[in-house]
Amino acid sequence: MIQKSKIISTKDNLQVIYEDNHIIVVNKRAGDIVQGDKTGDKPLSDVVKEYIAEKYNKPGNVYLGTVHRLDRPTTGLVIFAKTSKALPRLNKLFVSKDISKTYWALVKNKPKKDSDTLINWLIKNPKNNKSRAHINEVPDSKKAILHYKTIKTLDNYFLLEVNLETGRHHQIRVQLSTIGSPIKGDLKYGFDRSNKDASISLHARNIQFTHPVSKEELNITAPLPKDPIWNACL
């Protein structure tokens, strides 16, 4: 259940980081759900449509294509396609891994290595919406690869920069938990207490890609959540 203290994105407070005729990139808040699910809560995609409709005074249905997702308690950059021309091209960029995504994660337990590549085989359990990591390949598992490095030491936490080579269900969360460094606030993967706003301290910080239409090189960074510990990371 989403706590009352949580701020949800609306068309009036939407954090738009980049926008042009073909794409829009927003800074997702914790609690925003990218696409609709069984909760029935309004998805971020609908909020973006409302924002576009009002800003450009568009009557009727607004076209918007969802390209990728972030877990609900995670914050950071989400790209949407505003045109049918941009959507398949953006999808192709994700499939071909021609989009570079960098995440920041706060952990309490310092990893044994300052930087490393983690390789696991993940199995998703749809009943509890959780993934389990295995060291070796097992039936129905998917290979998961990420690279991390410790970029800052705080009083009680460590800031990790994470780059994904694959995009598996809860990948960063379960792989960091596997090395004994669960993400702050992530009760599902072993952290001892929740964050006050039910978020987890995982932020999609930066994304780099070639614009699907203009071919311009884009390098987009999302501001951090307003929180004293995140503030200390800067």
Q: Which of 177, 178, 146 is nearest to 161 (CA)?
A: 146
Helix (H, G, I), strand (E, B) or coil at 45: helix
- CB count in 10 Å sphere of residue 81: 22
The residues pairing with 144 across neighbouring beta strands, listed in sequence order, are: 120
From 12, 37, 41, 71, active-site residue: 71
32 is an active site residue: no
Q: Which of 140, 146, 92, 98 is nearest to 119 (CA)?
A: 146
What value, to the nearest 5°, has the Cα angle with vertex 211 and ends 209 and 216? 95
The upper half-sphere exposure of residue 124, i.e. CA atoms within 13 Å in the direction of its Cβ, equals 11
Yes or no: say if 62 and 68 are a contact pair by the CB < 8 Å rule.
Answer: no
CA pair distance 89, 95, nearest whole angstrom: 10
Yes or no: say if 165 and 143 are a contact pair by the CB < 8 Å rule.
Answer: no
- Catalytic positions: 71
